[in-house]
Structure 1
Amino acid sequence: MKRTATAVWNGSGKDGNGHLTTQSTILDKSQYSFNSRFAEGKGTNPEELLAAAHAGCFTMKLSFVLGDAGFVPDSLETTAYINFENGSITASHLVVKAKVKGIDQALFDTSVRDAELNCPVSRVLNAEITVESSLES
Structure 2
Amino acid sequence: MVLGWKGPPPGVFKINVDGATSADGRLSSIGVVIRDRKGNTIAAMCKTLPSQHSSEGTEILAVENGVLLAKELELSQIYIELDALMVVQDIQAGNTNGSLGHLHQGINCILETFNCWKIQQLKREYHCY
Q: Same fold (TM over 0.5)?
A: no
Normalized per residue, the structure richer in strand is: 1
TM-score category, normalised to shorter length: 0.3 to 0.5
TM-score (norm 2): 0.32
TM-score (norm 1): 0.31
Between 1 and 2, higher relative CO (CA 8 Å, sep ≥ 6) is seen in 2
Larger radius of gyration: 1
